[in-house]
Amino acid sequence: MNTLDAIINRRTVHTFTDRQVPEEIVERALNAANHAPCHRLTFPWRFTLAGPMLRNELAGLAIHIKGESRPLQPEDIEKIRSKILTPSTLLVASRMQCPDPAIAREDYAACACAIQNLMISFSADGVGTKWSTGSITRHPETYRLLGADPTREELIGFIWAGYGDPPETVRRPVLDQVARRTP
Ligand SMILES: Cc1cc2nc3c(=O)[nH]c(=O)nc-3n(C[C@H](O)[C@H](O)[C@H](O)COP(=O)(O)O)c2cc1C
The atom of ligand 1 lying closest to the CA of 11 is: 26
What φ, ψ does residue 103 adopt, rounded to 5°?
-70, -40
CATH number of the domain located at residue range(s) 3-50+87-164 in this protein: 3.40.109.10
The atom of ligand 1 lying closest to the CA of 13 is: 26
Is the alpha carbon torsion for 17, 19, 25, 26 positive or negative?
Answer: positive
Ligand 1 pocket, residues with Cβ under 6 angstroms? 11-12, 130-134, 157, 166, 169
pTM for the predicted model, two decimal places: 0.96
pLDDT computed for residue 175 by the predictor: 87
How many CB atoms neighbour CB 151 within 10 A?
6
**Per-residue pLDDT for 51 more than 90?**
yes
Non-local (6+) Cβ contacts of 94 within 8 A are 45, 46, 47, 48, 111, 148, 153, 154, 155, 156
pLDDT tens track for 133-181:
999 999 999 999 999 999 999 999 999 999 999 999 899 999 889 999 8
| % pLDDT > 90, the chain | 96
Residue with CA closest to ligand 1 atom 19: 12
Residue with CA closest to ligand 1 atom 7: 132
Dist CA 109 CA 115 (whole Å): 10
The atom of ligand 1 lying closest to the CA of 115 is: 31
pLDDT computed for residue 120 by the predictor: 98
The domain segmentation of the chain, as residue ranges, is 3-50+87-164
Dist CA 27 CA 46 (whole Å): 13
